[in-house]
Amino acid sequence: MVQFGAGKSIVVMGVSGCGKSLIGQRLANELALPFFDADDFHSPANVAKMAGGVPLTDADRADWLDALASLLKTGAPLVLACSALRKRYRDRLRLADPNLVFVHLDGDIDTIWARLSQRRDHYFTGRDMLESQFAQLERPGADEAIRIDIDRPADAVLAACLAAIVPGRA
């Protein structure tokens, strides 16, 4: 079982539309930690590619992962919203900070698509892109991440995250 402790950084992970940014920001506020969104670290070329409906490749993600690793190497506790779909991406981030705690916001494609289809002004568009993310997702086991079911309101998701990562918090 993954354990959270003071001084650790948290990566809120999952496919696009699962609530990483919303829950990550709220979690950071609750824990008085700085919040970062991995989307802000993508190059303009990556953003343009995704906006055009083209999934990113591992090569596209290399510099992005390096930038995120640099952020984590500082050692200052933080909350990072990041898809971290593949185990090798999570392993790359753990090289920068071996004490990272991953929180996997997990839901089914229909629930997430219903949320994504309501979004406006975001470069991630199209069910094909979401299906691509689900195809790439290597679900972390209980030894690698805390799994949180997102099939409930955001307040309940946040409460479940806090209960899972903060000892004694219900």
pLDDT tens digits, residue range 87-103? 999 999 999 999 999 99
Judge whether residue 150 has pLDDT over 80. yes
Share of the chain above pLDDT 90, in %: 65
- Grouping H, G, I as helix, E, B as strand and the rest as coil, residue 140 is coil
Share of the chain above pLDDT 70, in %: 89
pTM: 0.89
Tell me which H or E stretch contains 64.
Answer: helix 58-73
Class of domain 10-165: alpha beta
Judge whether residue 119 has pLDDT over 70. no
Question: How high is the pLDDT of residue 116?
Answer: 77
CB 65 within 8 A of CB 93: yes
The mean pLDDT of 138-167, rounded to a whole number, is 94
Helix axes 58-73, 44-51, angle to 10 degrees: 130
Beta-carbon-side half-sphere exposure of residue 50 (alpha carbons within 13 Å): 19
Q: Could you tell me the two tokens for 57?
A: 């490749």
Which residue did the predictor score with more confidence, 125 or 148? Answer: 148
Which residue did the predictor score with more confidence, 127 or 158? Answer: 158
Cβ-in-10-Å burial (0-12, 13-18, 19+) of 104 comes to: buried
Judge whether residue 121 has pLDDT over 90. no
Question: How high is the pLDDT of residue 50?
Answer: 79
The mean pLDDT of 102-126, rounded to a whole number, is 78
Q: Could you tell me the two tokens for 101?
A: 């705690």
Cβ-in-10-Å burial (0-12, 13-18, 19+) of 126 comes to: middle
Residue type, 59: A
- For 38-77, write each residue's pLDDT tens digit: 999 999 999 888 777 787 888 999 999 999 999 999 989 9
Task: Pick left, alpha or beta for residue 108 (phi over 0 → left; psi -120 to 50 → alpha; otherwise beta).
Answer: beta
Question: How high is the pLDDT of residue 1?
Answer: 44
Judge whether residue 125 has pLDDT over 80. no
- All structural domains of the chain with their residue ranges: 10-165
Distances (CA, A) of 161 to 13, 25, 44, 165: 12, 12, 32, 6
* Count of residues making up the chain: 170
Question: How high is the pLDDT of residue 5?
Answer: 57
